[in-house]
């Protein structure tokens, strides 16, 4: 038999959110869902975390205020009883910012030891893992990644500098960590948010628990969050600024955390390539991982490629070496003279973080100098955007960006569709490309530009990550295309 519970009337909640349209936008559930709320006179349990986050209501509001009590006829199957709401609090329900600064202990949901505080004041509570945060806590752009594998590669991808990653796949940590599945020596992301608490590793290659691996690198994680509600918020409202706090003493100055998030300027206009690039030139000869021997070595290279490191992933360099190249890696700030003095057969422009327009202030002159010499050139991700800028095009900040290993891209030159790995929040505006550059690839998600090629010189680029670390291997052929371009020259 259904039981009766006391809840806030649905109309009162919608009114508090500013009406049906505002409710749909703030909670990210859509106008049809809000219409069904009113029709049923109840809000489904899966929507309550988003509602609590958007309204700023506390559990006390839901149970102690007689003015907010609902009709005592709502069945438990159509509403959320107090026991469920209590369980939602530490799993990501939003809480209001304390007007007096440091939150009293009784304002923290039971079991919560960490929080994600957004610039608009929404707070997602959960349990912390990894390293405790210092003061000020790490701040960045909150984005989401839809990949089901490769969390270690994702966290060490330099392209994630300046960002807090929400993983939409719930099982993060179950394969542990090892010394091989990394794309850089340090973690580029400023923190991570996951749904389920990380478990003991269950993979034969694991050498360390993810929690210990994060602690050793000074990075904090937040578990037990309703990542679906957070992802919907990002999807519908764009990537917000946020602070991940996991204080050792368990005290949260929510007003200060919100102010820190609100004051962060965002990635637009930010040059982060200088933060993640190598500090000096070095040689690379390691090739891709293969069973049962692991990584190999390129001992008989046929071509010499200079790779400009704007935040290069190791597996990209491995793919170049596996394609028969001796690879010389130079810093992001290398000039055309610095690059060309190595007498390369080809030049590679790597992935990287931040706003391409900001990095382009020093990168574009160098790329232009290489193009003038007619040296074959291949760029990916940030390198693709920088090539576009060097050709005279413009870039823009995307509303949501592409981050995951399941992104469909159409190759316009062949008509084939590739499933690709991507991580970018900026894109090239194809309408601004010159007549000597043609669009070669487009996203089947939103139609944004995913590739270009010059018609008057040996240069091409793609927006996605063809090295597939992590991700599908559909696009490995691009490295062979680059080598073929070198050989034709």
Q: Which residues are catalytic?
A: 381, 465, 467
Per-residue tokens: 106? 């009784």
In 3D space, the residue among 276, 299, 289 whose CA is nearest the CA of residue 319 turns out to be 289
Rounded CA separation 474/418 (Å): 6
DSSP-assigned beta bridge partners for residue 465: 421
- Look at phi and psi of residue 312 and say left if phi exceeds 0, alpha if psi is from -120 to 50, else beta: beta
Rounded CA separation 133/191 (Å): 10
Rounded CA separation 398/449 (Å): 11
Task: Please give the backbone phi and psi of residue 379, each rounded to the nearest 5 degrees, phi first.
Answer: -130, 150
Rounded CA separation 222/194 (Å): 6
The number of residues making up the chain comes to 489
Torsion of CA 49, 55, 56, 61, to 10 degrees: -90
In sequence order, the 6+-apart residues with CB closer than 8 A to the CB of 55 are 13, 16, 17, 94
Burial state string for 428-460 with b = 16 or more CB within 10 A and e = fewer than 16: bebeebeeebbbbbbbeeeebbbbbbbeebbbb
């Amino acid at each position: 038999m259904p039981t009766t519970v006391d809840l806030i009337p649905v109309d009162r909640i919608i009114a508090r959110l500013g009406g049906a349209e505002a409710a749909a936008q703030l909670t990210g559930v859509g106008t049809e869902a809000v219409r069904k709320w009113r029709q049923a006179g109840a809000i489904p349990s899966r929507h309550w975390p988003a509602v609590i986050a958007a309204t700023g209501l506390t559990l006390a509001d839901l149970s102690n205020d007689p003015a907010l009590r609902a009709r005592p006829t709502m069945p438990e199957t159509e509403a959320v009883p107090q026991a469920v709401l209590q369980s939602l609090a530490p799993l990501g329900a939003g809480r209001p910012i304390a007007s007096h600064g440091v939150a009293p202990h009784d304002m923290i949901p039971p079991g919560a030891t960490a929080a994600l505080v957004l610039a608009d004041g929404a707070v997602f509570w959960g349990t912390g893992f990894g390293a405790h945060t210092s003061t000020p806590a790490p701040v960045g752009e909150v984005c989401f990644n839809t990949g089901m594998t490769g969390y270690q590669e994702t966290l060490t991808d330099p392209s994630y500098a300046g960002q807090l990653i929400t993983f939409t796949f719930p099982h993060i940590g179950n394969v542990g960590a090892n010394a091989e599945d990394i794309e850089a020596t340090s973690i580029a992301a400023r923190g991570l948010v996951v749904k389920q608490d990380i478990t003991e590793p269950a993979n034969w290659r694991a050498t360390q628990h993810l929690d210990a691996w994060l602690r050793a690198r000074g990075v904090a994680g937040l578990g037990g969050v309703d990542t679906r509600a957070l992802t919907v918020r990002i999807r519908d409202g764009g990537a917000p600024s946020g602070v991940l706090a996991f204080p050792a003493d368990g005290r949260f100055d929510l007003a200060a955390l919100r102010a820190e998030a609100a004051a962060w300027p965002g990635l637009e206009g930010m040059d982060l390539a200088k933060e993640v690039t190598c500090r000096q030139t070095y040689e690379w000869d390691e090739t891709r991982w293969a069973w049962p021997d692991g990584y190999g070595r390129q001992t008989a290279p046929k071509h010499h490629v200079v790779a400009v490191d704007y935040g290069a992933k190791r597996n990209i360099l491995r793919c170049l070496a596996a394609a028969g190249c001796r690879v010389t890696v130079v810093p992001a700030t290398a000039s055309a003279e610095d690059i060309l003095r190595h007498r390369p057969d080809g030049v590679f422009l790597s992935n990287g973080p931040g706003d391409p327009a900001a990095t382009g202030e020093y990168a574009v002159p160098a790329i232009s100098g290489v193009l003038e010499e007619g040296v074959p050139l291949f760029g990916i991700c940030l390198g693709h955007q920088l090539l576009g800028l060097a050709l005279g095009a413009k870039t823009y900040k995307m509303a949501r960006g592409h981050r995951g290993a399941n992104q469909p891209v159409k190759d316009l030159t062949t008509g084939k569709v590739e499933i690709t790995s991507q991580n970018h929040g900026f894109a090239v505006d194809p309408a601004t490309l010159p007549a000597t550059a043609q669009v070669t690839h487009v996203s089947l998600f939103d139609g944004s530009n995913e590739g270009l090629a010059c018609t008057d010189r040996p240069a091409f680029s793609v927006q996605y990550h063809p090295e597939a670390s992590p991700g599908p291997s559909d696009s490995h052929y691009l490295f062979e295309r680059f080598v073929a371009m070198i050989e034709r020259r």
